[in-house]
Each structure stands twice: as structure tokens, then as C-alpha cells.
Structure 1
């Protein structure tokens, strides 16, 4: 059975690099990002390379939606074996922290919710 990696915060650079690397090991790729159009373009580009990937749109700052997101990933792939969580980079913090009022506590809450949701019911 193929394994699945869920890439949370799968911007085009991070998502593509992680997908290519894990595909070499036989993983299927679940990509999570906020913007649907770039996410679809990424999934299409990976599919053109023969990489099995699916995109899931979500704003991870809304932590109440993360458990449902994880459920959708599991419906598509059956299970999540690896979690890659990298939605917050220094560039994002510098450009959005004033507008979005991000804090270390917000980032911790979001990442904790992702990890808890992915591990709930894990084999």
C-alpha cells in the first residue's frame, strides 16, 4: 500500500519540492494551501510528471476547519503517514503580521491542531 504525505502550507516552491522528493519514495501527495488556482496549477504540474497528488484548499489560521480537512484527505488517500507543516515562513510573518495579527501563540495553536487532527485515529 502506498504511503501518503500531507503537505500543509504547500506554496508552489515548498509543495513541489516536497512532492518530488517523497514521490521518489513512492508516496502519494496531499497538498494543502489557501489559494485554489495556484494549488490546482501545482497539482496539474505534478500530475504531468507522473506524481499522484491532490489539492485541498484551506486557511490553516481557521483551526476549527482542520479536523474536517484531515477527514477529506483521509477520504481521498485512506491514511496520512507523514505530515509536513510549513505554512509560516519569515517572509510571510514580515508581510502579514500587522494585517493579520499573527502571534507565536496563533502559529502554535494552528500547528498543534494539524498534528492532533492527523494523529487522531492513526494506525
Structure 2
């Protein structure tokens, strides 16, 4: 018996936060499996370079510089995907920001920045994509959440709160989408070797990066989980996946 075509072939997928880490690996793997990928991030030079790499390998991709905290940017992103590829099948909300610190430090600027990216950015994606999915009669929203929202650790209260807000929004969308038109998936990674810690204050950054080096997952592992959720046949929804190192507490 011969294998049929890859179920990802022909799908159009937006990936936010595609310039590095999980987003980069998700976009690369989707393109390798035949999907057309629309790469969104603020760092244009990085997504341009990734598009060039995908095109050289025979894939289909475009780069759209995007700040998910701006609704106009996200609306333009969705419109660009449709103009280039004719439809939008999946929105991967992967853009995220982590700024760790104890609440008593009162770092209101960092709190607001995390809320803007991790919560408002997700809502902007939904506002732009859901009407398209409804018109098409089909669509899939995949959102990167975090195990930080499952086990709350010191210095992570606000970050975990934003991720739990994202989890709640996704569950609300699932509850509102039982007519089968829109599928929803939450991916909750644990320690993964990414650049997420780069913008943290030094002591928190060193702690997180030490964990990443010691037992962090390769982001390819999370990319496989995302592809697994997307490749399911119509009518099958992978609602939530937690993926973390087996030794992570």
C-alpha cells in the first residue's frame, strides 16, 4: 500500500514569532512538508533570511514584518497571506515575551509588555483570522502557551498569568466553535532551547538559560507537536498538548 500525499501539503499557515526558536522550526518543518508559510516577526532580516532558505529548498514562503501588539499589522498580515496564497488555513500564535521578576519589584513596564504581546497579540490574531475562517468554512488556531502557567514559580507570576489568560481565551474559543468550523489547539512547552530568556534581567536569564542548556528540548520537538495537531483530519481536534523534558520538575 502506498502512502498518500502529506496532509500538510497545500495548507497556508501563518506563524508569528517566526524569527527564531520554536516559530522558526515550526515554519521550517511546515514548509518541508508542503505547506505555504507566512512568516511574521519584528526582525525583518531574520524572517527574510528564513524565507530565502525555504525557497532554496523548494518550499513556499513569504515574510511579513509584524508587531502583534498592533492590530493593523496583524490585519495586514492576514490579508497578505490571502493575497499571496488564496486562503488561510492555520494561524500559529507563537509570538511571546518573558520578563521575569518578583512582584515586589513592581516592574510595571515589563508587565505591560508581556500583556501586550502574550494576550493582546493573541486577541489581535483572532480578530484578524476568525472572520476569514468563518467565510471559508474552515480554519485552525494553534497557540503556544507554557508549562509556566501550570506550575507557578517565583519570579514568573505575571508571565504565567499572561499564559493562563491565553489558555482561557483558547478554551473559550473552543467552547464557541463546536460547530466544527474552527479547530483550536494549545501547545504548552516546558524548557526549550530558545532565545526567550535573552531579554530577561541577568539573574533570571542565567537561571533559565542554565536549565535550557542542561535539559532543554530542541525546538524541533515542539514543531513536531504543532504539525501533529495540524495534520489531523477534518473533524479531529487536538485540544491541548503539553511537551516538556522528561526530567523537568
Instruction: Give me the TM-score of the superposition, normalised by structure 1.
Output: 0.80
List alignment gaps of at least 5 residues for structure 1: none
Superposition RMSD in Å: 2.4
Greater mean deviation of Cα atoms: 1-10 or 38-47: 1-10
- Is the alpha carbon distance of 1:121 and 1:21 closer, same or farther for their aligned partners in structure 2, counting shifts above 3 Å? same
- Is the alpha carbon distance of 1:87 and 1:78 closer, same or farther for their aligned partners in structure 2, counting shifts above 3 Å? same
Residues 1:102 and 2:110 are matched in the alignment: no
Q: In the alignment, which residue of structure 1 is the partner of 2:122?
A: 111
Q: How many residues align?
A: 119
Measure the CA separation in 2 of the matches of 1:74 and 1:39.
19
- Is the alpha carbon distance of 1:45 and 1:80 closer, same or farther for their aligned partners in structure 2, counting shifts above 3 Å? same
List alignment gaps of at least 5 residues for structure 2: 1-8, 101-107, 137-249
Higher relative contact order (CA 8 A, sep 6+): 1
Q: In the alignment, which residue of structure 1 is the partner of 2:54?
A: 46
- Aligned-partner SS, 2:80: helix
Structure 1 residue 14, shift from structure 2 partner: 2.8
Match of 1:86 among 69, 90, 94: 94
- Is the alpha carbon distance of 1:62 and 1:46 closer, same or farther for their aligned partners in structure 2, counting shifts above 3 Å? same
Q: Indicate if the aligned counterparts of 1:3 and 1:81 stay in contact, CA closer than 8 A.
A: yes
Instruction: Give me the TM-score of the superposition, normalised by structure 2.
Output: 0.43
Structure having the higher helix fraction is 1
Q: In the alignment, which residue of structure 1 is the partner of 2:16?
A: 8
* Structure 1 residues 46-76: Cα deviation after superposition (integer angstroms, max 9, x where no partner): 1122221110011111223321221111111
Q: Indicate if the aligned counterparts of 2:11 and 2:88 stay in contact, CA closer than 8 A.
A: yes
Match of 2:34 among 26, 47, 52: 26
Measure the CA separation in 1 of the matches of 2:49 and 2:117.
29
Residues 1:121 and 2:132 are matched in the alignment: yes
- Is the alpha carbon distance of 1:16 and 1:121 closer, same or farther for their aligned partners in structure 2, counting shifts above 3 Å? closer
- Is the alpha carbon distance of 1:45 and 1:69 closer, same or farther for their aligned partners in structure 2, counting shifts above 3 Å? same
